[in-house]
Structure 1
């Protein structure tokens, strides 16, 4: 690949970032691409509107759920060392793990934690604890506050709880805190020199903060909460890094587990295992899951990806093994995911020449809507589905467990915890698109906006899937 080709990529990212920043959608944006031995990083706008500090190429940011791939890598390292067995029950190593359903935790295998097939109903469980035993506090809280969505291995549902339990499991078997383990076994060998795990460390260098658009003025205002509690570390609450750090981590997975520093971080076999399909729901809105990685199909090309929401920001890491390419980015408003999706699709089609077929075909007529009507629930979330004017209408209600969790979630969401009712049009039985969007919207990362229903029994769907997360018919 010529330097000119990557210069064209840098120019495109710069142009698109500038357009979004100047339109007021995003205060600041930073992105990088590594392709065939060459690398570029581009930054635009400000890291914090309150201070006017610029977004720099080496500005740090919260990794959010991209951390889940780091946590999975740590688990596989311990499997290689003979300390953990993917096929063993988690309670073999963590006997205190329990859920509100008696005996349910005993069926969860180590593999289920990192493949999002564990069924732990804890996606909005935000216990507030700090320090060395925060993850211990989280696991203890599951026993009194969280149940199950399904039998382990039966379904797929994006699982913050599973990753946090995996983090506590790592602490127990290694004797190190999750932060120390991440520093020793990922940051250092990968060469993630700008990475840390706390606000106290991040403040010593250039670090971006998240923002939310003020509903009255539509101007960006800084978040009131920099990180989620320490209890959410392994799911993405606390790790912080730079675009160059994420590119280095992605390159490690491109190179069969050998980092850019030359250190072997993971065996070639474990690296390949993470990229293999571990569960496929066979629906366009939920890509097949590997271990840690989500496998986004774009025609014949697979993009290994994970995006990461943080309070007022969103990161993304994409690895394309067939094309020797890594893409990483961060924007400091939640809407930056739109720009990230735009750039990812441009990289695929214009830079790599990948043809992206339409993900959804013409909507079917006369789809029976009655199997999907009802109330669906998961941890602290209620979704009421009805038929209005020949379309499905969903009303989402947040039902906080206590004042502390309500405060944390409200800050994480930028103050807005309720949304207006959303209408959906049928694509085919069991698959729906939000009304008003052109079909091509869903060809990229935003396929997660589609909603699907699963497991019809006696004329009723048992599960609803939105954004990769299941709710169960009440």
Structure 2
């Protein structure tokens, strides 16, 4: 498929989906085998009417986690950090509420999402150079979900601790380090580290759909607090900049401009499986990258939620392809999944097998019933009309936490009960979805249960995050 055909196809898919699903604006870029295509559609901000352009900036969200991991591996290459050293060797004040729990966590656990830090909804509102120091200090009130290396659970806390570790060993703030060691050598001239920088150029804002008017309304929060920088709270850039970063990982750590950013060995280590839960809804993890299997093809991926927006970066080493995209409404993740699968099937000719089979009828539901908890989150699982039913409750630690998370979520933190049908023992799909829904990125909608002991499971996994039986 030539670049003109690719451009036309991307443009048509984007316009049709955005119009049908009330997505104000969308920007997507594809690099493949030496050619690059970028298209932009719609509006960056419905209040101002500013158009979404190919060089409009947007919040990277959790895509930042791959940048943070790259920074850590750079220091490993330089002999400054040892992946197998305890985190407390660099951060002596790092502690969790359980005595001795923090001392068991190694550096690799932080960037491999296997650290067990129970702080996924912990949003301390600190600003400036000491923001990450304040975050780590506050973790002494947070617990551990599991022993390090025992399980896999998507970890904002781990990445933020890694960011603070980088500050201590380099003497630079995380944002200074990001600009010096990622933006500059990769060639990301339009990327910034704060809202104050981003306001000086064209930048999109997120939106939430008003269920009554079916109109997209701008978010009341542009970024998360500075404390969340290394996990994706504050870095901002363009599709072209993200493509350049993806191409650097495609090329074994060498930027499109010929600069060595990361060693070939560390680049490969990030792409190698470090933990696998063996469940379709929780793809294997490398370091930083999530390794999505699509048949025989592996997609290195990370998506990023920001207030009212969602980004995606995918690298396909086997096909010399990078995909980067952003939409300024949470529903844009559906379009990103559609484009990814279209690129695999139609552009690259990759066969995507069905990920899940038809539901089983005779699965014993009793091992899964109970209450599961993680940081400020409670999930009650019961049996209703022969189906598992989940009720999720947000339990804020204080008024500040509630304010930040409520704004991040667009004003609501509650959801109606959700029923699930069994796919097989330990794996469930939300009721009413055709099984092909889960073939792509939206496999994260599946729920799995892990570690059966004495007739009851210990952990529930939803969206890649664990909650533990209370």
Same fold? TM cut 0.5: yes
Q: Which residue of 1 aligns with 2:305?
A: 309
Q: Contact 1:6 / 1:39 at 8 angstroms: preserved in 2?
A: yes
Q: Are 1:60 and 2:52 an aligned pair?
A: no
Aligned-pair Cα RMSD in Å:
0.6
Q: Contact 1:118 / 1:153 at 8 angstroms: preserved in 2?
A: yes
Q: CA deviation at 1:430?
A: 0.2
Counterpart among 361, 365, 385 of residue 365 in structure 1: 361
Q: CA deviation at 1:31?
A: 0.1
Q: CA deviation at 1:223?
A: 0.3
Q: Which residue of 2 aligns with 1:256?
A: 252
Q: Are 1:337 and 2:333 an aligned pair?
A: yes
Q: Which residue of 2 aligns with 1:471?
A: 467
TM-score (norm 1): 0.99
SS in 2 for 1:264: coil
Q: Are 1:141 and 2:138 an aligned pair?
A: yes
SS in 2 for 1:176: coil
Q: Which residue of 1 aligns with 2:391?
A: 395
Q: CA deviation at 1:25?
A: 2.2
List per-residue Cα deviations over 1:300-325 (Å, max 9, x = no partner): 00000000000000000000000000
Match runs of 1:60-459 below 5 Å: 60-143=57-140, 145-459=141-455
List per-residue Cα deviations over 1:249-282 (Å, max 9, x = no partner): 0000000000011110000000000000000000
Counterpart among 23, 41, 45 of residue 42 in structure 2: 45
Q: Contact 1:381 / 1:398 at 8 angstroms: preserved in 2?
A: yes
CA distance in 1, matches of 2:392, 2:9: 38
CA distance in 2, matches of 1:303, 1:324: 11
Q: CA deviation at 1:8?
A: 1.7
SS in 2 for 1:271: helix
Q: CA deviation at 1:416?
A: 1.1
SS in 2 for 1:404: helix
Q: Contact 2:82 / 2:107 at 8 angstroms: preserved in 1?
A: yes
List per-residue Cα deviations over 1:44-70 (Å, max 9, x = no partner): 000000000000000000000000000
Q: CA deviation at 1:21?
A: 2.5
Gaps in structure 1 of 5+ consecutive residues: none
Q: Contact 2:21 / 2:331 at 8 angstroms: preserved in 1?
A: no
CA distance in 1, matches of 2:393, 2:357: 31
CA distance in 1, matches of 2:446, 2:361: 18
CA distance in 2, matches of 1:442, 1:328: 21
SS in 1 for 2:249: helix
Q: CA deviation at 1:215?
A: 2.0
Q: CA deviation at 1:24?
A: 4.7
Q: Quick check: 443-452 or 357-366, which moved more?
A: 357-366
Q: Contact 1:422 / 1:434 at 8 angstroms: preserved in 2?
A: yes
Q: Contact 1:303 / 1:320 at 8 angstroms: preserved in 2?
A: yes
Q: CA deviation at 1:288?
A: 0.2
CA distance in 2, matches of 1:24, 1:303: 26
Q: Contact 1:24 / 1:219 at 8 angstroms: preserved in 2?
A: no
CA distance in 2, matches of 1:309, 1:138: 20
SS in 2 for 1:284: coil
CA distance in 2, matches of 1:281, 1:20: 33
Q: CA deviation at 1:6?
A: 2.3
Q: CA deviation at 1:364?
A: 1.4
Q: Contact 2:119 / 2:375 at 8 angstroms: preserved in 1?
A: yes
CA distance in 2, matches of 1:364, 1:21: 36
SS in 1 for 2:108: helix
Q: Contact 1:24 / 1:220 at 8 angstroms: preserved in 2?
A: no
Q: Quick check: 8-17 or 114-123, which moved more?
A: 8-17
Q: CA deviation at 1:399?
A: 0.2
CA distance in 1, matches of 2:6, 2:325: 13
Q: Contact 1:168 / 1:178 at 8 angstroms: preserved in 2?
A: yes
List per-residue Cα deviations over 1:365-387 (Å, max 9, x = no partner): 21000000000000000000000
CA distance in 2, matches of 1:347, 1:356: 11
